[in-house]
């Protein structure tokens, strides 16, 4: 559930609303794809789409609770979720976040196969919507959140969070083995960025597609076909974002071919599923965030 993107550091022109995205050094290896500090001030409040991605989401909000829902109506209603610490599982549809004029926080993209080490449970046990992070992580996460609130620099906040996650990964109570066939199949898909054949992948790990799908469902809550599509969409979305950030019109047919889609129409189909919009509609909605430095999380595909 990508609430925010993030580059190394970027901000809007001084006469406009200010935006800041700062990416932390990657110090937790394959467990974490990216850690991004985000801040905005003076922006027009808007409803933001949190897009599906092949990662779990961990957020520590530093400016009040994140307010959102599974639909625009849910996000705006009295039953919207309101959490300062969020753990989000894999999902196949966008979630909707009410972004106020001022917000700040740290968002972590967690590899699903690291869920046992960092969260004490397989990713399949996390709900697809955002959940109260304290109920998953325990009181220690509340303490970490408070310590992050007391700091003013991104470096200090990143250090606190990184040390906390490292301790959890080393805690023997959180250790559990992921089936090697699942780990190898994930690496196989990631190397091909979602463009590989599922039959070839199953042969690579010496299992049937049905067996592998069952293992994936138990471990991450989605089958390898769904993960493959998420990876392919993530790459295509990143290429669209790169073009828009450079103020160029993305060539969707070329992007579809490079990213392993059957054709342009299949790329549009996946954009509609994962964003709820056509590519042009999503670009129009997110142009401000993209050009301010968002949507560049620096994900790694070789985890």
**pLDDT above 90 covers what percent of the chain?**
78
| In the predicted structure, residue 300 carries a pLDDT above the cut 50 | no
Q: Give CA angle at 91 (231, 262), nearest 5°.
A: 35
Stretch 6-24: mean pLDDT, rounded? 64
Domains parsed from the chain with CATH numbers: 18-175 (2.60.120.10)
Stretch 125-138: mean pLDDT, rounded? 77
| In the predicted structure, residue 118 carries a pLDDT above the cut 50 | yes
Give the pLDDT confidence of 92-105 residue by residue, as tens digits: 999 999 999 999 99
pLDDT score at 43: 85
- Say if CB 189 and CB 301 are below 8 A apart: no
The chain-wide mean pLDDT, for the chain, equals 88
| In the predicted structure, residue 298 carries a pLDDT above the cut 80 | no
Stretch 128-136: mean pLDDT, rounded? 72
Q: Taking the model in full, what pTM does it have?
A: 0.88
Closest to 293 measured CA to CA, from 3, 1, 32, 38? 38
Stretch 225-239: mean pLDDT, rounded? 95
Q: Give CA angle at 60 (55, 64), nearest 5°.
A: 130
Give the pLDDT confidence of 170-209 residue by residue, as tens digits: 986 656 689 999 999 999 999 999 999 999 999 999 999 9
| In the predicted structure, residue 134 carries a pLDDT above the cut 50 | yes
- Report the C-alpha gap between 151 and 147 in whole angstroms: 7
Query: Going along the chain, which residue ranges are E strands?
Result: 18-23, 32-41, 46-50, 56-61, 66-69, 81-83, 85-88, 95-99, 102-110, 130-132
């Amino acid at each position: 559930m990508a609430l925010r993107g993030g580059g190394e550091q970027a901000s809007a022109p001084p006469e406009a609303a200010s935006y800041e995205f700062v990416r932390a050094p990657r110090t937790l290896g394959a467990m974490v794809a990216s850690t991004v500090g985000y801040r905005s001030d003076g922006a027009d409040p808007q409803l933001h789409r949190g897009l599906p991605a092949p990662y779990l989401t961990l957020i520590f909000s530093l400016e009040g609770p994140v307010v959102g829902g599974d639909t625009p109506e849910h996000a705006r209603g009295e039953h919207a979720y309101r959490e300062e610490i969020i753990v989000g599982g894999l999902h196949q549809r966008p979630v909707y976040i009410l972004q106020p004029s001022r917000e700040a926080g740290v968002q972590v993209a967690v590899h699903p196969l690291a869920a046992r080490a960092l969260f004490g449970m397989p990713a399949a046990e996390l709900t697809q919507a955002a959940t109260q992070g304290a109920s998953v992580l325990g009181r220690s996460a509340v303490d970490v959140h408070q310590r992050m609130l007391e700091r003013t620099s991104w470096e200090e906040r990143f250090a606190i969070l990184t040390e906390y996650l490292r301790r959890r990964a080393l805690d023997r109570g959180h250790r559990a083995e992921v089936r090697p066939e699942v780990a190898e199949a994930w690496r196989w898909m990631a190397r091909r960025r979602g463009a590989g054949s599922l039959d070839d992948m199953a042969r690579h790990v010496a299992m049937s597609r049905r067996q592998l799908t069952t293992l994936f469902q138990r471990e991450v809550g989605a089958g390898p076909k769904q993960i493959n599509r998420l990876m392919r969409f993530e790459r295509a979305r990143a290429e669209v974002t790169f073009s828009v950030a450079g103020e160029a019109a993305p060539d969707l047919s070329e992007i579809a071919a490079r990213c392993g889609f059957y054709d342009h129409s299949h790329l549009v189909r996946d954009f509609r599923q994962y964003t709820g919009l056509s590519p042009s509609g999503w670009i129009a909605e997110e142009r401000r965030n993209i050009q301010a430095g968002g949507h560049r999380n620096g994900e790694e595909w070789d985890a």
